[in-house]
Amino acid sequence: MIARRSFLSTAAIGAGALFVAPGLALATVATDRRFVFIIQRGAADGLDILRPTGDPAFAGLRGDLVGDGAGTRLDSMFSLHPALAEVGRMYGQGQALFVHAVASPYRDRSHFDGQNVLETGGAQPYVVRDGWLNRLVTMLPRSSDEAIAIAPTVPTALRGSVQVASFAPSALPHAADDLMTRVTALYAEDPQLHTAWAAALETKGLATGANSGQDPASLGRLTASFLTKPNGPRIAMLETLGWDTHTAQKGRLANQLKKLDAMLAALRDGLGPVWANTTVLVATEFGRTVAVNGTGGTDHGTGSVAMLVGGAVKGGRVIADWPGLAPANLYEARDLRPTGALDSLIAGAAAESLALDPERVGRGLFAQATRDRPMAGLLRI
């Protein structure tokens, strides 16, 4: 546990700092735009999230798995899983787009290794030490590298030169309201501690008011409450778990997608007018097999789908160089073949979202991983 004065000074979350709560991390930078990265840990099945119903091979491969109808038809090839109702509405309003058949440079099927490559921006696991989101923060104006993580560990994507301290919540009983009032009065005239203590109390109130972000909608509202503060953070990362659907995928994935849909809707509603300047990127470490296994699930694969949502997104479209699902077109005779680079999408979305030079962002975030140029034309702003 860190010292009292250290906790108070970092709780203010100065410009350039990172703030991490369970499942949520935030960075304060000098911009009016917002960029949110949501990682789907566990390898989300892109073929079920955005179904290629127009591919002649799809029905034969996935017929037993897709028992809830085709979902929202987006175009002649793709249909959106019915659990993503709010995302479907965003798509219809031009605020969501999908990039299918994408993957990081990683081509094996280990969750830990795949997530490391996705979060560091490296070409191989554990070659790059820091995370691409941390490096992104360093490209923006900032005045402080101090931060606090309200969690035992900091996500890999956030580790790097922008330092993040760790603060594990105490198992002791919460302080009584009377004690909190007395401490507030004690610091009222202190020029150093008054502002920091007030910020700490505000942060505590936001987290408590949103149930500490434990359910998806609350986490979306909590994120929005920070991102809408006048001098608050402008970059956020959210972690979602449970996407490893080896068994009973039909019900399990539908439940996961309903939660993601609720989180995104709560984030949108909580941001209000700020939503117009917001970009949310959702991505996973790799996809799942084309064929269904014997337990009604799918195994670790390669290509998957990523999505961009937000008022800043130039949506209402699917970007895909579709490889097809015929046996001869599969990667290693089992997976959706990647035809797009996830690194290119991340670099392009981050650069356009934060008004940075795309080539500089591509070099800074993924220099060791890909030579693909950042995707362009993803946003309206």
Residue 239 has a pLDDT of: 87
Q: Which residue has the higher pLDDT, 80 or 367?
A: 80
Structure tokens at 285: 């470490």
- pLDDT value of position 317: 98
State residue 170's pLDDT score: 46
- Cα distances (angstroms) measured from residue 52 to each of 59, 70, 170: 9, 10, 48
What local confidence, expressed as pLDDT, does residue 151 receive?
46
- Per-residue model confidence (pLDDT) at position 161: 85
Q: How confident is the model at residue 183 (pLDDT cuts 50, 70, 90)?
A: low
Tell the residue number behind the tokens 């127009």, with chain if given. Answer: 54
pTM (predicted TM-score)? 0.84
Find out whether 19 and 232 touch, Cβ atoms under 8 Å: no
Residue with tokens 């580790």: 159
pLDDT for res 5: 32
The identity of residue 257, as a single letter, is L
Query: How many residues are given for the chain?
Result: 381
Mean pLDDT of 47-68: 90
Which residues are CB-contacts of 337 (< 8 A; sequence separation ≥ 6)?
101, 302, 303, 323, 329, 330, 331
Inform me whether the pLDDT recorded for 330 exceeds 50. Answer: yes
Q: Which residue has the higher pLDDT, 40 or 209?
A: 40
- CA dist 11 and 239 (Å) reads 21
With cut-offs at 50, 70 and 90, classify the pLDDT of residue 198: low
Phi, psi dihedrals of residue 46, rounded to the nearest 5°: -65, -30
CA 291 to chain centre: 27
> How distant, in Å, are the alpha carbons of 136, 228, 312 from that of 377?
20, 26, 11
Provide the CA 330 distance to its chain's centre, in angstroms. Answer: 28
Three-state DSSP class for residue 166: strand
DSSP 328: G
Please tell me which of 191-205, 228-242, 258-272 the model is most confident about, judged by mean pLDDT: 258-272
Mean pLDDT of 216-245: 87
Bridge pairing between strands 34-40 and 235-240: parallel
Q: What is the DSSP string of 167-196?
A: -PPPSSPPPPHHHHHHHHHHHTT-TTHHHH
Question: Quick check: helix, strand or coil at residue 99?
Answer: strand
**pLDDT at residue 66 in the model:** 82
Quote the CA–CA distance of 91 and 105 in Å, as a whole number.
28
Residues 331-348 have a mean pLDDT of 97
CA–CA gap between residue 372 and residue 339 (Å, rounded): 12
Query: Average pLDDT for residues 208-215, to the nearest whole number?
Result: 52
> What pLDDT does residue 201 have?
55
| Better pLDDT: 228 or 324 | 324
Maximum separation of any 2 CA atoms in the chain, in Å: 74
- Domains of the chain and CATH, by start: 4-366 (3.40.720)
C-alpha 29, offset from chain centre: 18
